[in-house]
Amino acid sequence: MLYKSLNLQSPKVSFQEAVIRGLAPDKGLYFPEEIPTLDVEFINSIEKYSNAEIAFTVIKPFINNEIPDEELKKIVTDTLCFDFPLVEVGPNCYSLELFHGPTMAFKDVGARFMARCLAYFNKTNSNAKNTILVATSGDTGGAVASGFLNVSGVDVVILYPSGKVSDVQEKQLTTLGQNITALEVDGVFDDCQDMVKKAFLDTDFESLQLTSANSINVARWLPQMFYYFIAYKTLKTKGKEIYFSVPSGNFGNICSGLLAKKMGLPISGFIAATNSNDTVPRFMGDGNYAPKQSIATISNAMDVGNPSNFIRILELYQNNFAELSKDFSSVSFSDSETREAMKSIHKNFNYIVEPHGAVGFLGLQNKLKNNANAIGVFLETAHPVKFLETVEPTLNYKVKIPQSIQEILSKEKKSIKIKSYEQLKSYLLSR
Ligand SMILES: *Cc1c(COP(=O)(O)O)cnc(C)c1O
């Protein structure tokens, strides 16, 4: 299997090259040249397999033989070394908790998988050296830092907006040391993102082998399929229609769910739940794709005005709007609706959700209302402790801080302050 660029102006590449490049030379996203289908027998007997066995079967066709089976098994086993509980929070309504990984955000899976693939590629090429350059509004940075910590041949440089990430998030970025460096940017997330984009186009960095680690990278995007297969394993026996509602920002996670369906996972439908950044809900309403400047909300990991992975969803459906609409819908919710949902889930079901999960919960309501034969699953993409500043005052409730977070909060922050692209450049070239 090769990967094509969605701009169609660059040659097809191997998995390895797609991972190392991140983006194709023509600036297009990489996309598998064909979608593999899974053996029906595998889906029908999925409960017989462990999570790692499922992940191996699902990802294998995308890797070809570029990573030997034994290595790939180790990589997926290591990637999925924590639980993915499905918690029933109300009638026919489940929370798929994706926050039991090291940084308590669902991005841990993609980051761990990508790091281990790069480590394998570097092992077979001992003078390889990559610099991962990534901008974060919060969760990506921590997951990438943790996933790549001590991976040989890889240096990680994370840009984050000073004063705009939560305490927990900042400590997760700035306290690891080793091969991880945090650059604290005097500006907002968009400034960080702009600097990173500029660096990828800057020919002065050719010798550094700059690589991205956001969800445009196929090695971070593809393994998110695992969640849907793992949840299906548990829900299959209920014999009902299954719907997933995915709190969406850059639309990488939900796109991998749609990919799982194309490969043969019997899911009845997907709902992309967004906050006020409603570019995709508007598109599904009028067929007109009109991105906007992003708006700040309480579910800030989804404050994206022009979702980078939506083009992959369109490609998956060959731009056929009618076909896409059968499987996919999208709804937007305001911050006040999100807060109300957090309160009602707490009051009615005694379950704590953070704002992203609450948006996902809201996405299910219409689907479940008139359909007794439907099961709805919302993805809870982060632990409530990561969004304490919203969760505690909204619910008037003190969240118990997990041990691992307490430890990190007591560590000393180390960051390098920068203000401009020139400062980023001189830092990168001086290393
Ligand atoms: C990144 C993130 C999202 C959005 O995921 P996408 O794949 O970008 O749509 C949702 N919730 C949380 C907590 C996140 O960190």
> Over the stretch 346-380, which tens digit does the pLDDT of each residue have?
999 999 999 999 999 999 998 898 888 999 999 99
Q: What is the pLDDT of residue 124?
A: 75
The predicted structure's pLDDT at residue 206: 82
Percent of the chain's residues with pLDDT above 70: 100
Question: Quick one: pLDDT at residue 366?
Answer: 87
Helical pair 335-349 and 355-369, crossing angle rounded to 10 deg: 80
Q: Does pLDDT of 413 surpass 90?
A: yes
Mapping DSSP to helix (H, G, I), strand (E, B) and coil, where does residue 89 land? strand
Return d(Cα 359, Cα 163) in angstroms, integer: 25
Ligand 1 pocket, mutate which of 96, 97, 100, 106 (most atoms under 8 A from CB) = 106
Q: Is 276 in the pocket of ligand 1 (CB under 6 A)?
A: no
Q: How far is the CA of 22 from the centre of ligand 1 (A)?
A: 19
Tokens of 146: 């943790």
Tell me how far the alpha carbon of residue 28 lies from the centroid of ligand 1, in angstroms: 21
Indicate the DSSP class of residue 65: T
| Cβ–Cβ under 8 Å, residues 1 and 32 | yes
Does the C-beta of 247 come closer than 6 Å to ligand 1?
yes
379 CA distance to ligand 1 centroid (A)? 10
Q: What is the DSSP string of 364-376?
A: HHHHHHT-TTEEE
C-beta of residue 94 within 8 angstroms of C-beta of residue 117: no
The pLDDT value recorded for residue 174 is: 96
Would you say residue 44 has pLDDT above 90?
Answer: yes
Q: Give the mean pLDDT of the chain.
A: 94
Confidence band for 157, pLDDT divided at 50, 70 and 90: very high
pLDDT of residue 189: 83
d(CA 38, CA 272): 24
Name 294's Cβ contacts closer than 8 Å, sequence gap at least 6: 190, 277, 303, 304, 305
User: Quick one: 29 exposed, middle or buried, by C-beta within 10 A (0-12, 13-18, 19+)?
Assistant: buried
**Residues belonging to the chain:** 431
pLDDT of residue 126: 67
Q: Does ligand 1 come within 6 angstroms of the Cβ of 142?
A: no
Question: How far is the C-alpha of 289 from the C-alpha of 307, rounded, in Å?
Answer: 11
Coil, helix or strand for 407?
A: helix
CA distance 302 to 305: 9
CA gap 144, 107 in Å, rounded? 8
384 Cβ closer than 6 Å to some ligand 1 atom: no
Q: Which atom of ligand 1 is nearest to the CA of 252?
A: 7
As a whole number, mean pLDDT of residues 43-66 equals 97
Question: Ligand 1 test: best mutation among 29, 136, 139, 362, most atoms within 8 Å of CB?
Answer: 139
Ligand 1 centroid to residue 249 C-alpha, Å: 6
**Which of 50-59, 61-70, 202-211, 305-314 has the lowest average pLDDT?**
202-211
Identify the DSSP state of 306.
S
Burial class (CB in 10 A: 0-12, 13-18, 19+), 117: buried
Q: What is the pLDDT of residue 269?
A: 97
Which pLDDT tens digit goes with each residue over 231-269? 999 999 999 999 999 999 999 999 999 999 999 999 999
Specify the ligand 1 atom closest to the Cα of 255. 7
The pick from 338, 356, 385 for probing ligand 1's pocket by mutation, whose C-beta has the most ligand atoms within 8 angstroms, reads 356
Residues with catalytic annotation? 107
Model pLDDT for residues 93-150, shown as the tens digit of each residue: 999 999 999 999 999 999 999 999 999 998 877 677 889 999 998 789 999 999 999 9
For the record, the structure tokens of 75 come out as: 């990589």
pLDDT, mean of residues 21-46: 95
